[in-house]
Amino acid sequence: MAKEVRRGTVSGWVMLPLLFLAFVAVGYGVYHAIGVIDSTPRGADAVGGICGLVGMILALGLLVLMCCGFFTLQPNVSAVLLLFGAYKGTVRVAGFHWANPLYQKIRVSLRTRNFNTDTLKVNDQRGNPTEIAAVVVWRVDDTAQACFDVEDYSNYVQIQSEAALRYLASHYPYDSTDDSVSLRGSMDEVSHDLQHQLQERLSKAGVVVEEARLSHLAYAPEIAGAMLRRQQAEAVVAARQRIVEGAVGMVEMALHRLQEHQTIELDEERKAAMVSNLLVVLCGEQAAQPVVNAGTLYA
């Protein structure tokens, strides 16, 4: 695996006046060489003037080549430097720089990016087709890995995000009536797991996942109606179970209080009737309508 190496450069504001003075000096040398050639058209001095002119032209070409070493970097943008295919380092400091003009400079953004995956149809842990999508917040941390260890780090992030999302959806149920982790009821745990899965996959590309959360979650249209009725039935069963547990607890508490304070003595038959009446009142869907015993009327 490649490893990023920080590299310093020469300030462009220092090299710019130096190159300007060098251009002035070379220009003066060219002018002087041309003057020598014009004044002495034959003899050794003319040959020397021609050689000086060629040298000044070569120096001028070198100065033009050195001007190609100037480059600028915006904040949170880096430049990966390559010399004939060899990695020489990464410049991260924003500003006006000068480096070897033979360096190839690959700019890599270090800014935080958002990526919203496409809506995928995946079977959850119970085999129910589910539509799911996520938003991933990421940034490049190691520029050498991003450039050299994967072909295209941006495309790599997209493909691996979809793969991690499919893996996540297939390992959790869409919904759960108990306290187990589910896609709909445990968003924080699911998001943390998704971020962990993504970080493991994207660390090879030098990418840091700052956040990953589900942005869309729904049953597939072909089973949405059936699953809605199933959710309603499960909710009714869970509610009934909770009501029965509470009613039994209240009946037990009432019998215990009556026995503890000796308010009234109840035989087993009256206890059974009392329990039956209390359960009917507490578990019934509608409010109970008591029947008042007013005694027997005689004509």
Give 75's pLDDT tier (boundaries 50, 70, 90).
very high
pLDDT digits (tens, 9 = 90+) for 224-239: 566 676 666 767 777 7
Domain ranges of the chain: 10-108, 113-219, 231-283
Cα gap 246→240, rounded to integer Å = 10
Give 185's pLDDT tier (boundaries 50, 70, 90).
confident
SS3 213: strand
* In the predicted structure, residue 28 carries a pLDDT above the cut 80: no
Give pLDDT, residue 222. 72
As a whole number, mean pLDDT of residues 124-151 equals 92
* In the predicted structure, residue 73 carries a pLDDT above the cut 60: yes
As a whole number, mean pLDDT of residues 88-109 equals 93
SS3 223: helix
CB-facing half-sphere around the CA of 261: CA atoms within 13 A: 7
SS3 4: coil
* In the predicted structure, residue 110 carries a pLDDT above the cut 50: yes
* In the predicted structure, residue 299 carries a pLDDT above the cut 50: no
| pLDDT: which is higher, 18 or 257 | 18
Cα gap 137→145, rounded to integer Å = 19
Cα gap 13→105, rounded to integer Å = 19
Identify the burial level of 117 via C-beta atoms within 10 angstroms of its C-beta, where 0-12 means exposed, 13-18 middle and 19 or more buried: buried
CB-facing half-sphere around the CA of 118: CA atoms within 13 A: 8
Residues 6+ apart with CB under 8 A from 90: 4, 5, 6, 7, 78, 79, 80, 81, 108, 143, 144
* In the predicted structure, residue 295 carries a pLDDT above the cut 60: no
Give the tokens for residue 4: 């990023």
Q: What does the DSSP 8-state code read for residue 204?
A: G
Note whether 195 and 209 are within 8 A (CB).
yes
Cβ neighbour number for residue 214 with a 10 Å cutoff: 19
Q: Of 75-89, 99-113, 172-186, 241-255, which gets the smallest average pLDDT?
A: 241-255
Name the CATH topology of 113-219.
Answer: Tetrahydropterin Synthase; Chain A (3.30.479)
Cβ neighbour number for residue 191 with a 10 Å cutoff: 16
CB-facing half-sphere around the CA of 162: CA atoms within 13 A: 12
Nearest one of 15, 96, 10, 103 to 63, comparing CA atoms: 15
SS3 17: helix
**Whole-number percent of the chain with pLDDT over 70:** 72
* In the predicted structure, residue 43 carries a pLDDT above the cut 80: no
SS3 287: coil
Give pLDDT, residue 183. 86
* In the predicted structure, residue 146 carries a pLDDT above the cut 90: yes
Cα gap 164→197, rounded to integer Å = 6
H or E element in which residue 166 lies: helix 153-170
Cβ neighbour number for residue 125 with a 10 Å cutoff: 17
Give pLDDT, residue 285. 58
* In the predicted structure, residue 282 carries a pLDDT above the cut 90: no
pLDDT digits (tens, 9 = 90+) for 130-143: 899 999 999 999 99
**Which sign does the torsion angle of CA 21, 26, 31, 36 carry?**
positive
Instruction: Record the pTM.
Output: 0.69
Cβ neighbour number for residue 45 with a 10 Å cutoff: 13
